[in-house]
Structure 1
Amino acid sequence: MNYADRLKFLREKTGLTQKFVAQKIGVKNNTLSSYESGKRQPDYETTKKLADLYEVSIDFLLTGKEHEGSSDDMWRELLNPKTQVLFKDLKDAPEEKIDELIQFWEFIKNRDKTK
């Protein structure tokens, strides 16, 4: 089950309508619909509101699993639209490309330490 499916599942499980949830989290009904269909992804604040409404963690909402130690600050950063630009293609990237990106980032961090 992916993120969009989990949103719809949790809403239906709690017996809430899209209209009610949209009003509760402060978005338009068609915006919530686009979250549930996977066409859009909410920002951190909206994700936090959804997690609170459904009484689940952000970890569960996004990954389907509970992870110990995942802080709200971490999710706030990862769900930041500026940060998402960097990560949007990573979820489908091959492992070797991700490893290469990590090596490149380590190079940049080390380079900046020597300046």
Structure 2
Amino acid sequence: MKDMVQFGIRIRHLRKMNQFSLRELGERSGVSYSFINSIENNRFSPSRETVIALADALNSAEKDELLLLAGFAPTEEEALEGPHSGGNFVDVDDPEVSLFFKDFKNAPKERRDEMLRFWHFIQEQQQSRKPDSEQ
């Protein structure tokens, strides 16, 4: 289940955090500024490609988080291209990982928020882990 209200709020927050106007984010992402405004105001749902373009244009954006909020599961290729590359990727062919994303998509908002917090915790732990340390 998509959480487009939270997605729009998150895009607006990231845009302002980067000090981008709607037009500037539009130029950087290749998405029209009026469409970005509609996304921020929960009038339209973006495609997967639009979410990725916005995430790439927003320097501090977590691509996986935005994809999840928009109702899309990240792929191995996108995770490898993201800011946490270096072997940390989501294997969507793994049945347990696929179940996680299926559960996320069908969960109520409170549960999705809890799952996102857990996802962020795991990412933070991976970032702070030294390459030679055991998991």
SS in structure 2 of the partner of residue 42 of structure 1:
coil
Would the aligned equivalents of 2:9 and 2:40 in 1 still touch at CA under 8 Å? yes
Q: Which has the larger radius of gyration?
A: 1
Give the match for residue 53 of structure 2: 49
Consecutive unaligned residues of structure 2, counting only runs of 5 or more, are: 79-105, 109-135
**Is residue 17 from structure 1 mapped to residue 5 from structure 2 by the alignment?**
no
> TM-score scaled by structure 1?
0.52
Give the match for residue 44 of structure 2: 40
> TM-score scaled by structure 2?
0.45
Q: Deviations along 1:71-108, whole A, 9 cap, x unmatched?
A: 1679xxxxxxxxxxxxxxx677xxxxxxxxxxxxxxxx
Which structure 1 residue ranges, 4+ long, deviate > 6 Å from structure 2? Answer: none
| Sequence identity (%) | 22
TM-fit CA distance, 1:11: 0.1
Give the match for residue 64 of structure 2: 59
| Structure with greater proportional helix content | 1
Show the 5 A alignment for 1:64-75: 70-71=74-75
Consecutive unaligned residues of structure 1, counting only runs of 5 or more, are: 75-89, 93-115
Residues paired across the two proteins, number: 74
RMSD: 3.0
Would the aligned equivalents of 2:26 and 2:32 in 1 still touch at CA under 8 Å? yes
